[in-house]
Structure 1
Amino acid sequence: MNQIYLRLNFKRIALLFVILFTTFSHAIADDGEILSAIKGQVRTSDGLPAPYVTVRLQHSNQGALTDANGNFAIKKVKPGHYTLIVSLVGYSNVLQEVEVEQDKISQVTLTLGASGQQMKEVTVVGQNNKYTVLEPSNSLRLNMPLVEVPQSITEVSKEVLADQMIFNMQEGVTRNISGASRLGHWDMYSNLQIRGSRANSFRNGMNVYISPWSPLTEDMSMVDKIEFIKGPAGFLVSNGEVGGTYNVVTKKPTGYNQGDVTLSLGSYDEYRASLDLDGKLSKNGKLLYRFNLMGETKNGWRNFDYTNRYSIAPVLKYLIDDKNAVTVEYNLQYMQLPVVGGNYSFSKRGYGDLPRNFTTIEGNMDPTKINDQSVMVYYDHTFSPDWKLTAQMGYFHYNQVGQSMWPGGFSVAGNDSLLQRNINIWDALGINKTAQVFLNGKFRTGAVTHTVLGGVDMKYSNYYADWSQGGKFGDANFNIYHPTYGGVKQLTYDRSTDIRTRGVQYNYGYNAFYVQDQLGFFEDKLRVTLAGRYTTNTAVSPYDGTNKDSKFTPRFGVSYSLDKNTSLYGVYDVSFTQNPGLDWQKRPFDPLTGDNIEFGFKRNWFHGRFTSTVAVYQITKNNVLTTDLDHPDPVAGFIYSRQNGQQRIKGLEADFQGEVVHGLNVVVNYAYTDGVVSKDNDAKLVGNYVPGIAKHIQNTWLTYTLQSSVLKGLRASVGYQYQAGRVAGQVYDKSENFLPDYFRMDAGIGYNINKFSINVLVNNVLNAYLYTGAPSVDGYGNKIYYWQTEPGRNLRMSLGYHF
């Protein structure tokens, strides 16, 4: 009742704010200073957009940096006559007169003396300070700098990923984000934790989630950057968990004829090659393309483990005219590994008491093969400089043919060494269809500016899985402390029937519409965001029946600019997702809802070369599902879930990244996270820690590049990840809550000379035994521990050529 009362009051307060601000806007319309701005694009001498070029007003400190498409905006310009100056290192400044009229936006187009090829070379030379991203991608649907957004958003650029030699989402991406961590999981799917929740996975603003075990995580060869959005973010991307979302932005055509080829090798017989081609397919520059190709093979640090992988990612973009563009993108990823689940260790004694290279798999296993394909289509229509319509759709197809392992348990009474291994088929088919249409626009009423966003969002997923065939793998004499491999016969499976017939089917979908208005006051210094989203969720499975729920979720935000580089913000928003399933009494679960209250401070330093965000928040999650260990079903073999009442997660986060001094780029972040069960029907569970969080996470990464001398282009990198107060996954009884503290250090050296680059990185320099894990119960009722190790000290080296 208290929650209903608070939400009703919130709606009344929000309505009151609308009335007050509307009244206030009319009151100041005649007295406020008129808003004017200059917008435009900078192009090269051959007509291509000129990215990352400085545009400023002569005899003024007002200016802007062009984005990747050469666009810029200088806001809050008083009416008058100005001279614009465009500066590019190594080329003469370009000057252009512009007249700024009262209450109007002046449009200009400027042309540099440099060609596209010359701009490409300038961009390559200047890549040492690209740790900072000031603008979100178009897929986040925001039309403003990040410093003005009333929410914590951190961008991980492709330069950061390259310096850290990250090849997929599992390999240290989280070190660049405050409070983010990776839970123990299979190596082909991402299970990232943000603010006490599994992060929602998106690609180019589209929800790619099909099931907890699909799709395949993206290879970094196709990735331009990764955006981490804290909080529900329902109006930024789509439906999702309250903790946060990561949005993978794939590489798109730029219009420059250029390319990169990279060869890499590393420990555990790792060999990798990637190719990135970018350019024009037509002489008039209207048909553009991007093509990324990658192939990789490597063994694991565990016995008999290996991964073979390749990806193909072509993109075509057609510029119909100045107002219309169509982009079509296809991604194919293939992965081959021996068996799912072979990366876990198991023991009755406790965590970490087996060697790092321990495994339960055998060398003669049939491979598990995964084919992951997607087609994405985007259409953009620009009505005017202030109004734009975007329509996009995605079709994602995931196919897995293979098997998985999980132990039956320690079957010999009183023996903690002899493990019975089990194996079963795991074939799966996942299909995800999503479509989104949204409109961005700006207009004014009196002295108040309105930045509006509205749209529809639809998604529907089918997942078919066959776990029905399997049995014991060998006998119960597999000694985990003295393992003997070989002589175990492989199981055979009947795949004569289509997976849609023999598999268990899960359906999940939603449709929603939303509208958001950001009202700007006092020359846009004060920005008030009012928004609402209405969502209908549907989930169907043979085990769980049909769940259908609808809900209106509000959003209220305030952001105030102390100056053009500094802002304070606050936001309140709500999440709403389906809770599919039935409890042990076959009753459906209520939807999962979450409230997020957040306050923060943002500042850009050194003309945008360095950014900082500090935020405090409190999240309340209702109707949380947890494992029901009190009601096992020994006949059917089910492990039921139960609604664990309410969780409260609160914390502090700080993110700093960019160029501190010329040549020194840093990524430094810290997060304090406190998550507990705040309410539950079972009183003894109140006060339990939320599984999977780490109370303290602190990450640092430093890269210094020499700017002069004969060794210009030589760089050195060093970084560490530290986690303390780690709460194990799947813990709900105040026992075995904490895992050991985590500390990993990495260091590397690189060199750029002309068009060549070389990068050498040593991961886990201290050769620490690192893992994540959780307790569980085996098939014989024994309490066991399972964990997933990380590799020991290992090396990677890459040689690249840019042309």
Structure 2
Amino acid sequence: MYRSTLLLVTLLFAVLSPSSLWAQEETGSIRGHVVSADGRPVELINIGLRGTRLGTTTDSTGAFELRGVPPGAYELVVSFVGLETRTVPVVVQAGQVTVLPTITLRETIATLDEITVADRTDTYRVSRASASLRLMTPLLELPQNIQVVTADLLADQQILNMREGVVRNVSGASEAEHWAQFTRVHMRGARIPAFRNGMNVASNWGPLSEDAALIERIEFVKGPAGFMMANGEPAGFYNVVTKKPTGQTRRAVDVTVGSFNLYRTTLDLDGRVDRSGRLLYRLNLVAQQNESFIKHDFQHRYAVAPVLTYRFDERTALTAEYTYQQARLLSPGSVYQFSANGFEVGAVPEDFTAADPSIDPTVIDDHNAFVTLTHRFSDAWRLTAQLAYFDYRVNGSFLWVASLTEDGDMQRSYGLWDSHLENRLGQIYLNGEFATGAVSHRLLAGLDLADKDYLAEFGQYGILGADVPFNIYHPTYGLPAESIPQFDQTQSLRNRANYTIAQSHTALYVQDEARFLKDRIRLTLAGRFTDSRDNDVHEQVFTPRLGLSVSPVAGTSLYGLYDQAYLPQAGAGADGTPFRPIRGHNLEAGLKHDWLGGQWTSTLAVYRIRKTNVLTADPENPNFSIQLGETQTQGVEVDLRGSLAPGLDLVLNYALTDATITKDTDASRIGDRFGGARHITNGWLSYRLRHGALRGLGLGLGYRWQLDRTSNWAAAGSQERLPNYFRLDGAISWQNERFSAALNLGNLLDATLYTGTRWGNVYYWQLEPPRTFRLRVGYRF
């Protein structure tokens, strides 16, 4: 099945490709750098070739690159609202890169009223990773599958935070049970960790999921990535890039209302503090309250995110960023439904909750700060240093099932959940370019430091409403105070914590990308040495990386990758021997192609991840584990994103994920699947009119489809099959230079959708909301 599916997808990709990749007309590229009148790099400047549909935008360093340009003479148009438009003549030759002199833009007296609705370039597609991924190479040329979800795409889909369907935009990614406050993303057969601005911030519980109003983009890095981490999940990670000052004066306010009493306001202020433009600012504010289709459930969120950037000169800048998020919710665990008779979706009331409106809400406070210093020694060499601190505190409770009969009589375990997560992170890295003869090199070298501490108390608990019968089929609510267990919080959390995690690591890494034959062949060699501690387990591990990327013609690359990772494991076996870390071995190959001169891009990837030293049950000591387990995940992924035509944007993806147990002490488990749906495909198509009386009107339609589903995780012998999943969403919107309005409808077919699993004799699941609406109105000033 796996081989036949791989062959079918490969043939389909070949059919969709040009009639012969090797017979295409050879093209060239244009590189340049845009600065303001005082010499500062300018981000998000529109770059286009007059008379063509080729275009891009500048990155955070002011750099841009246009690829796939047919040979000839052109006029390059450089523009942005409030800045003069520059036209630069350029001649492109086949197989060569044309490097332009630095382009300087000056302010104009043009007002926003004089600007018409412009074509949004690269709305859903970007050509380069953010600076926080530390890479200088375009995504097309990287020997790895990296997919980027842009802020424009999040806005079109009216996604409010990381838990609301972001994964629909990436092949093979899915959401698992989320406990209402933090994100669980599964990809390539495992839960992947969360990064923020290039730093690994993940913990078992926390930090709080990022609000979409704070997000510039989300980068999904698939498979191990030794240049970012080695002591982590071999399936990959996702990196949230937060909004930074752009140097342009832009202000926006949005108000959203929706189903279940959703009320939300966001404010985004971007500009300069002083006239010289040395000191820049960005401020995002969010206030939201909403209820739920689940009885008594609610969540109120607030966020404040100021950012300052000071440019000492055109080469050196310092950025300081602080984010505070608070969430108030009924209780983690209140969003689950339960049964002792299978997934009785429909038999249990749709609005069921195990919680009670009489219990105190859970309050989460999340503070984090980043300080980033960048210095450009020259156009070829750049140094970056970054520090981050996270302080995440939960004061609340948890709910779970203590016992459940087939008749539905339930005892609810209600416990204290006070916790504190501290992350102290640091990194310094150097990017550079140099040549040795005919071979050019892109060098990355750095130091990565992390120290994470998590404290929690789960030790105090009791039965919620022990003297009041509670039945899942006919629940009653409104407990008296004496029926709610009380907890002792007089001592500090550090003194009463009964669950702790202490993790730290120091890592050195170096990566060289050697480029041959006018950059057509790119060989990546890298290694990372990591010294890590996970509670009492101390490991020193070297992990290598080898990648090859070849461009037979411009706009196309074939790649192969071998990478390693390891995952520390706390604890010991029955004889006291500490567990060795899980070792991950990744093989990946793929084909990437840019279409219509780079307007949209496609990626086909095949991979295999093998994990060794996986914990499994000790057959001689059932209360302990041993390390004889092994798993293997292999699959095929296809991603397409970009502009098919002016105003017509598309995201389309498919993934086959085959994750199985290949070695276990229980022979009956060998061959068992895990990791969720075997087949996942998603699509989102939007169209916006650019001309005529209805100019600015937009329509959007998207689907999510999962086939051959199982629960994402389960204990031995409790893997559960789930029904196929199909969801349809739509949107209609309108915008002009200042105003915008958008109506999004979720779950158009009002389908019953859920994820869940079984623990012992108890089945538990989470329902998605029925058909919903969201109406957003925005003003730009």
TM-score (norm 2): 0.90
Task: Tell me the CA shift for residue 365 of structure 1.
Answer: 1.0
- The 5 A counterparts of 1:60-209 are 66-67=58-59, 69-73=61-65, 85-88=76-79, 94-95=87-88, 108-112=101-105, 115=108, 125-127=118-120, 129-209=122-202
- CA RMSD in angstroms comes to 3.1
Matches of 1:332 and 1:111, distance apart in 2:
37
Alignment of 1:255 onto 2:269: no
Matches of 1:513 and 1:190, distance apart in 2:
29
**What is the one-letter code of the residue matched to 1:728?**
S
Alignment of 1:670 onto 2:664: no
Task: Tell me the CA shift for residue 753 of structure 1.
Answer: 2.5
Matches of 1:417 and 1:632, distance apart in 2:
30
Q: Describe the SS at the equivalent of 1:515.
A: strand
Matches of 2:263 and 2:358, distance apart in 1:
22
CA contact (8 A) 1:44 1:115 kept: no
Partner of 1:417: 408
Change beyond 3 A, Cα 1:320–1:157:
same
Partner of 1:510: 505
**What is the one-letter code of the residue matched to 1:400?**
V
Partner of 2:776: 798
CA contact (8 A) 1:286 1:319 kept: yes
CA contact (8 A) 2:757 2:764 kept: yes
Change beyond 3 A, Cα 1:585–1:171:
farther
Matches of 2:67 and 2:159, distance apart in 1:
37
Q: Describe the SS at the equivalent of 2:356.
A: coil
**What is the one-letter code of the residue matched to 1:521?**
F
Change beyond 3 A, Cα 1:580–1:539:
same
Task: Tell me the CA shift for residue 372 of structure 1.
Answer: 0.4
Q: Describe the SS at the equivalent of 2:469.
A: strand
Matches of 1:120 and 1:340, distance apart in 2:
48
Matches of 2:389 and 2:116, distance apart in 1:
34
Task: Tell me the CA shift for residue 730 of structure 1.
Answer: 3.4
Matches of 1:363 and 1:149, distance apart in 2:
52
Partner of 2:645: 661
Matches of 1:145 and 1:104, distance apart in 2:
14
Deviations for 1:220-263, whole angstroms, at most 9, x for unmatched residues?
11100100000011314564211111000000000011111000
Alignment of 1:438 onto 2:429: yes
Partner of 2:257: 265
Matches of 2:76 and 2:742, distance apart in 1:
37
Task: Tell me the CA shift for residue 707 of structure 1.
Answer: 1.8
Partner of 1:328: 320
Q: Describe the SS at the equivalent of 1:159.
A: helix
Partner of 1:468: 459
Partner of 2:475: 483
Task: Tell me the CA shift for residue 683 of structure 1.
Answer: 1.9
- The 5 A counterparts of 1:285-684 are 285-351=277-343, 352=345, 353-410=347-404, 415-475=406-466, 477-488=469-480, 489-504=483-498, 505-540=500-535, 546-583=536-573, 587-625=577-615, 643=627, 645-684=629-668
CA contact (8 A) 1:368 1:402 kept: yes
Matches of 1:89 and 1:285, distance apart in 2:
17
Change beyond 3 A, Cα 1:455–1:416:
same
Q: Which moved more, 1:591-600 or 1:352-361?
A: 352-361
Change beyond 3 A, Cα 1:631–1:303:
farther
Change beyond 3 A, Cα 1:629–1:41:
farther
Q: Which moved more, 1:116-125 or 1:300-309?
A: 116-125
Change beyond 3 A, Cα 1:62–1:733:
closer
Change beyond 3 A, Cα 1:738–1:38:
closer
Task: Tell me the CA shift for residue 38 of structure 1.
Answer: 5.4
Partner of 2:23: none
**What is the one-letter code of the residue matched to 1:664?**
L
**What is the one-letter code of the residue matched to 2:763?**
Y
**What is the one-letter code of the residue matched to 2:34?**
Q
Structure 1 unmatched ranges of 5 or more: 1-34, 541-545, 634-639, 778-782
Q: Which moved more, 1:602-611 or 1:575-584?
A: 575-584
Change beyond 3 A, Cα 1:96–1:303:
same
Task: Tell me the CA shift for residue 567 of structure 1.
Answer: 0.7
**What is the one-letter code of the residue matched to 1:491?**
P
- The 5 A counterparts of 1:1-12 are none
Alignment of 1:694 onto 2:677: yes
**What is the one-letter code of the residue matched to 2:391?**
H
Partner of 1:30: none
Task: Tell me the CA shift for residue 44 of structure 1.
Answer: 6.8
Q: Which moved more, 1:675-684 or 1:232-241?
A: 232-241
Matches of 1:686 and 1:721, distance apart in 2:
30
Partner of 1:785: 763
Change beyond 3 A, Cα 1:120–1:315:
farther
Matches of 1:201 and 1:388, distance apart in 2:
26
Task: Tell me the CA shift for residue 301 of structure 1.
Answer: 1.2
Change beyond 3 A, Cα 1:631–1:116:
farther
Partner of 2:17: none
Change beyond 3 A, Cα 1:513–1:118:
farther
CA contact (8 A) 1:169 1:220 kept: yes
CA contact (8 A) 1:189 1:217 kept: yes
CA contact (8 A) 2:195 2:201 kept: yes
Task: Tell me the CA shift for residue 85 of structure 1.
Answer: 3.7
Deviations for 1:656-695, whole angstroms, at most 9, x for unmatched residues?
01111111111100000001111123322211112x3210
Task: Tell me the CA shift for residue 72 of structure 1.
Answer: 2.6
Alignment of 1:757 onto 2:735: no
Q: Describe the SS at the equivalent of 1:315.
A: strand
CA contact (8 A) 1:48 1:116 kept: no
**What is the one-letter code of the residue matched to 1:761?**
N
CA contact (8 A) 1:263 1:798 kept: yes
Change beyond 3 A, Cα 1:174–1:123:
farther
* Paired residue total: 744
Alignment of 1:220 onto 2:212: yes
Deviations for 1:317-357, whole angstroms, at most 9, x for unmatched residues?
00011111100000100000111111111111011242321
Matches of 1:597 and 1:471, distance apart in 2:
49
**What is the one-letter code of the residue matched to 1:160?**
L
Task: Tell me the CA shift for residue 125 of structure 1.
Answer: 2.9
Matches of 2:258 and 2:80, distance apart in 1:
37
Q: Which moved more, 1:40-49 or 1:758-767?
A: 40-49
CA contact (8 A) 1:129 1:663 kept: no
**What is the one-letter code of the residue matched to 1:409?**
S
Matches of 1:51 and 1:206, distance apart in 2:
24
Matches of 1:471 and 1:60, distance apart in 2:
69
Deviations for 1:383-436, whole angstroms, at most 9, x for unmatched residues?
1101000000100000110110111112x6xx4311111101000011000100
Partner of 1:714: 697
Deviations for 1:559-606, whole angstroms, at most 9, x for unmatched residues?
011222111111110111211234566543210111110011111112
**What is the one-letter code of the residue matched to 2:153?**
V
Matches of 2:657 and 2:460, distance apart in 1:
42
Q: Describe the SS at the equivalent of 2:241.
A: strand
Candidates 217, 220, 223, aligned match of 1:231: 223
Deviations for 1:511-541, whole angstroms, at most 9, x for unmatched residues?
110000000000010000000001122111x
Deviations for 1:595-639, whole angstroms, at most 9, x for unmatched residues?
110011111112222111110001101122468899776xxxxxx
Matches of 2:779 and 2:221, distance apart in 1:
33
CA contact (8 A) 1:648 1:677 kept: yes
Deviations for 1:532-559, whole angstroms, at most 9, x for unmatched residues?
001122111xxxxx11111110000000
Change beyond 3 A, Cα 1:39–1:710:
closer
Matches of 1:508 and 1:714, distance apart in 2:
51
